[in-house]
Amino acid sequence: MTFVRSCCCSVRIFSISRVSVDWMIRRIYTTFNQKYYPVHNCTPCLLKRKIFQIRNRPANTVSPLISEIPSKLYSYQQHASTHHSNQDVHMKQFENSYKLVEDEFLMLNNDIKKLIYTIHPDLQEIAHYHLDGRGKSLRPMTVMLMAKSCNFHHIGDSTILHSQYVIAMISEMIHIASLMHDDVIDQSDIRRGKPSVKAVWGERKAVFAGNFILGSASSALAKLKNEYVISVISCVIEDLVKGEFMQLGSKEDETERFNHYLTKSFKKTASLIANSCKAVAIFGNCCDDIVNTAYLYGRHIGLAFQLVDDLLDFVACDKTIGKPTAADLRLGLATAPVLFAAQQYPELHPLIMRRFKHEGDVEKARDLVVKSDGVAHTRLLAEQHAKEAISMAKKLKHSASQQALINLVEFVLHRKK
């Protein structure tokens, strides 16, 4: 169902035509979520009240923020230093969240290895390559915490059902397969701080191994014998492919680029988390409202994760994130920091359209992004998605796992790699 909405400032979202950074944030955030539920405040109203202290002013009369607000207010370094002291707190909360599903996690990788067993030695070794515990395991952790929260909400017992545990396994298998395929597409030699499958075994074997893992995940999904869940998880694989095709191009219209970028980000990253959370809620026999709540939590934490990932490409060092920095620019990809920076520095537009292929394009784009407020705007947008994820988690009955879902959002928002 599509809702026609107006903000608290009485501005109908679809009547706005001016292009500025404040409009861009509003347009991205509200239109991208219009299929799912109405909101009472547009993003700039929320941001301005918190950051800029601009109150009770119609959103379509606010002049472009880039020209009015001193860049120090948007300084990512200033923002990062504010949160640096809380980094240990977020890590501790993450560890506490992990402890709630530690028993399941101790079995997860071994159970996945059993699912993808094969007598072919090379295929077996490749398929098990990323099951070494070096990844963040964000997806299965999120799925299992959502399963516990939904079960407690519905029946007061947070025990994870076998079917829900299998969904957590499937989510990790789909993710691992997508990493193998991504490394071939992106020609990446580093993954999770070590040589990628493509670098060790070559492109063909990496593709075959990824396909094998996807096939094994599909087989495990079919054995659950729930047509609704099969349909939900099948959408994830469909979205992954669509997202890759979307990544091959960019919109010429500057006002459409961000929606294109976020839609691509949802399909490539957030769809897996959102639909996996939805699946465990279905297996928990939750009502439609809670099933949708689980989906929206996964959607928003997934988008927040991707936005943070994109800004880290400009502020973290190679060793910290385990992959080359400015990698997206070298691949010809214009992510959120670049798109926001282009509103401040229009000379980025031709570079975006030619996918940074000319000599010096990558360096110029990187310098302009660092010089601009693009990283800070990206963090603001990530914070809005994080707030939405937390609001979804708070709809569930209070429990240790529900609080862990909230803590997980904070960890995603403040992670350094």
CA 282 to chain centre: 22
Distances (CA, A) of 248 to 174, 210, 326: 21, 20, 18
What is this structure's pTM? 0.81
- Residue whose C-alpha is closest to residue 39's, from 1, 7, 71: 7
- Residue whose C-alpha is closest to residue 213's, from 128, 288, 133: 128
pLDDT on residue 88: 73
Confidence of residue 4 (pLDDT cuts 50, 70, 90): very low
> Worst-scoring range by mean pLDDT, 27-31, 357-361, 399-403?
27-31
Class of domain 83-414: mainly alpha
pLDDT on residue 191: 86
Mean pLDDT of the chain: 81
- pLDDT over 50 (residue 172): yes
> Worst-scoring range by mean pLDDT, 22-31, 36-45, 329-338, 393-402?
36-45
Q: Which residue's entry shows tokens 């400009």? A: 314
Burial category of 8 from C-beta neighbours within 10 Å (exposed 0-12, middle 13-18, buried 19 and up) = middle
Tokens of 138: 């964000």
pLDDT (mean) for 240-269:
89
What's the CA gap between 29 and 31, in Å, rounded? 6
In 10-56, which residue ranges form alpha helices assigned H by DSSP? 21-32, 43-47
Confidence of residue 327 (pLDDT cuts 50, 70, 90): confident
What's the CA gap between 195 and 46, in Å, rounded? 43
Q: Which residue has the higher pLDDT, 131 or 25?
A: 131
- Residues in contact with 101: Cβ distance below 8 Å, sequence separation at least 6, in sequence order: 141, 144, 145, 148, 160
Confidence of residue 256 (pLDDT cuts 50, 70, 90): confident
Confidence of residue 30 (pLDDT cuts 50, 70, 90): low
Burial category of 34 from C-beta neighbours within 10 Å (exposed 0-12, middle 13-18, buried 19 and up) = middle
Q: Within 13 Å and on the Cβ side, how many CA atoms surround 180?
A: 29
What's the CA gap between 17 and 7, in Å, rounded? 15
- pLDDT over 80 (residue 328): yes
Confidence of residue 95 (pLDDT cuts 50, 70, 90): confident
pLDDT on residue 326: 79
- pLDDT over 60 (residue 62): no
Domain ranges of the chain: 1-63, 83-414
Percent of the chain with pLDDT over 90: 60
pLDDT (mean) for 122-139:
84
Confidence of residue 148 (pLDDT cuts 50, 70, 90): very high
> Worst-scoring range by mean pLDDT, 40-44, 233-237, 251-255?
40-44
- Do 278 and 229 form a contact (C-beta atoms < 8 A)? no
**Angle at the Cα of 380 from the Cα atoms of 376 and 381, rounded to 5 degrees:** 120
- Residue whose C-alpha is closest to residue 9's, from 51, 53, 62, 52: 62
Q: Which residue has the higher pLDDT, 60 or 29?
A: 29
Distances (CA, A) of 266 to 165, 241, 260: 23, 12, 10
In 186-287, which residue ranges form alpha helices assigned H by DSSP? 197-201, 203-222, 227-247, 254-265, 271-283
> Worst-scoring range by mean pLDDT, 21-25, 32-36, 112-116, 126-130?
32-36
